[in-house]
Amino acid sequence: MIKDLITRNRSYRRFYQGFSIERETLRELVDLARLSASAANLQPLRYILSCDPQRNALIFPHLAWARYLKGWSGPGDGEEPSAYIVILGDTEVTRSFGCDHGIAAQSILLGATERGLGGCMIGSIKRQKLRRALEIPTRYKILLVLALGKPRETVVIDTASPAGDIQYWRDSKGVHHVPKRPLDDIIIG
Ligand X SMILES: Cc1cc2nc3c(=O)[nH]c(=O)nc-3n(C[C@H](O)[C@H](O)[C@H](O)COP(=O)(O)O)c2cc1C
Nearer to ligand X, 24 or 168 (CB): 168
Q: Where are the beta strands (DSSP E) in 35-139?
A: 45-50, 83-90, 118-122
Q: Which is nearer to ligand X, 47 or 65 (CB)?
A: 65
Cβ-based nearer residue to ligand X, 49 or 87:
87
Nearer to ligand X, 46 or 126 (CB): 126
**Cβ burial, residue 72 (10 Å; 0-12/13-18/19+):** middle
A 10 A CB-CB count for 87 gives 25
CB 85 within 8 A of CB 49: yes
* Distance of alpha carbon 81 from the chain centroid: 11
In angstroms, give the least distance from the CB of 150 to ligand X: 16
Cβ(49)–Cβ(59) below 8 Å? no
The nearer residue to ligand X, 45 or 155, going by C-beta atoms, is: 155
Q: Go through the chain and tell me how many residues it has.
A: 189
Closest distance to ligand X from the beta carbon of 39 (Å): 17
- Contact residues for ligand X (CB under 6 A)? 10-11, 13, 64-66, 120-124, 155, 168, 178
Report in angstroms how near the CB of residue 6 gets to ligand X at its nearest. Answer: 9
- Least distance CB 24 / ligand X (angstroms): 26
Spell out the residues 6+ positions from residue 152 whose beta carbon is closer than 8 angstroms to its own.
12, 14, 15, 16, 79
- Closest separation in Å from C-beta 174 to ligand X: 15
